[in-house]
Amino acid sequence: MTTLLSLLLGAGPLLLLALNPVHGSDNATLPLVLWHGMGDSCCNPLSMGSIKKMVEETIPGIDVLSLMIGKTVIQDTENGFFMDVNEQVSMVCSQLAQDPKLKDGYNAMGFSQGGQFLRAVAQRCPSPPMKTLISVGGQQQGVYGLPKRPGESSHICDWIRKKLNSGAYTDIVQKHLVQAQYWHDPLNDDLYKKHSLFLADINQERVVNETYKKNLQLLDKFVMVKFLQDSVVDPADTEWFGFLKTGQAKETETLQESVLYKEDRLGLAAMDAAGKLDFLGTEGDHLQFTREWFNAKLVPYLR
C-alpha cells in the first residue's frame, strides 16, 4: 500500500493513474471513513493521503476521514503491528460517535487488515450507522501464512513469522501482535476458536452473538475486493470470506460452502439473498489498482 508496505510485504505501491476526476456529486453524499492496512498510516502521501485526495477530487464536497490510531503517524504505523485490535476498534468507535459529521451515517473503506477491522466496527458499534462497507483486500477469514519478502523492513516480518509459528495463540502473542489476532490455523481449529482474541469473536466461532448478526445486516452493502494475483495474503480466498477447509492446509472453500454461511451465524447468507453482498475481483497483486479501476468500480458505492 505504501513504500513501507511494499518493502515489508512486497505488495508494491498503489498504481494511481493521472486520470481526470469524475464530477457530478450531490449534497446527499455520505462521509467516507478510511482505515489503512499493516505497515501504513492514515496520512502517507504515497498511500492513504493519495486515496483521500483522489476521493475528494472525484466526489467534490465529500468529507473523508482517514483514521489515525494513536496521536502521531509513527504511533499509527506501530499500532498496526502491536496494539490490541479490540482496543483499536473501541478507539475508533468512540471517535466516530463523537464526530457530528457522521451522525446521519457514513460509508467505510478498509484496506487489507483495515477491512476486517471496519467490519468489527459495523458489528459492535451501530451508531453512527455505517451504510456501505468496502473491504479492499481485507482478510475476512484471517490468514494462515506470512510471505517472506526482501526489503529493509524484512526483519520485522521475520520476527512476526517466528512468533506466529511458535505460539500464535499464547496469551502474550495474542495480546501484543495484531497479526496473531487474525491468524487462523486450520490445523489447530480448537486452539484458534478458544484463544483467538479478535477474529474468532467477530466471526462467531465460539457463540452466536445476535447483536453482531443484527448489526452487520444493517449494512446496505458489504463489498469485498479480491486481488486475483495476490502474493501477500494467504489464502487469497479470505478476501471473499473463503478460507482453507478445516483439518488441512491445501484445499479452500468459498464463503457459500462454509459452516459460517450454511448456519448463517453472522447473517451473511441472509445478506447474500437480499443482494447486499458484492464480490469484486481485480487483476494484480495485493492493493495494486489504477485510479481508472477505482473510479469505475468503487466510487459508485460512495455516491
Q: Supply the pTM of this predicted model.
A: 0.88
Residue 16: what pLDDT? 45
b/e map of 112-133 (b: 16 or more CB within 10 Å)?
bbbbbbbbbbbbbbbebbbbbb
Beta strands in the chain (DSSP E): 32-35, 64-66, 106-111, 130-136, 221-227, 243-244, 252-253, 277-282
Residue 151: what pLDDT? 42
- The count of C-alpha atoms lying within 13 angstroms of the C-alpha of 214, restricted to the half-sphere facing its C-beta, is 5
What is the grid cell recorded at 74? 509513527
For residue 228, is it left (φ>0), alpha (ψ between -120 and 50) or beta?
alpha
- All structural domains of the chain, each given as residue ranges with its CATH number in brackets, are 32-145+198-301 (3.40.50.1820)
Residue 156: what pLDDT? 63
Any idea which residues carry the catalytic annotation?
112, 230, 286
CB contact at 8 A, 184 and 146: no
Residue 160: what pLDDT? 67
Per-residue pLDDT tens listing for the chain (303 residues): 433 333 333 333 344 433 344 443 344 799 999 999 998 999 999 899 999 999 999 999 999 999 999 999 999 999 999 999 999 999 999 999 999 999 999 999 999 999 999 999 999 999 999 999 999 999 999 999 765 554 445 566 666 666 676 688 999 999 999 999 999 999 889 999 999 999 999 999 999 999 999 999 999 999 999 999 999 998 999 999 999 999 988 899 999 999 999 999 999 999 999 999 999 999 999 999 999 999 999 999 998
Whole-angstrom Cα Rg for the chain: 18
Residue 166: what pLDDT? 67
CB contact at 8 A, 276 and 224: no
How much of the chain is helix, strand and coil, in % rounded to 5?
40, 15, 45
C-alpha span between 276 and 287 (Å, rounded): 23
What is the grid cell recorded at 100? 457530528
- The count of C-alpha atoms lying within 13 angstroms of the C-alpha of 300, restricted to the half-sphere facing its C-beta, is 7
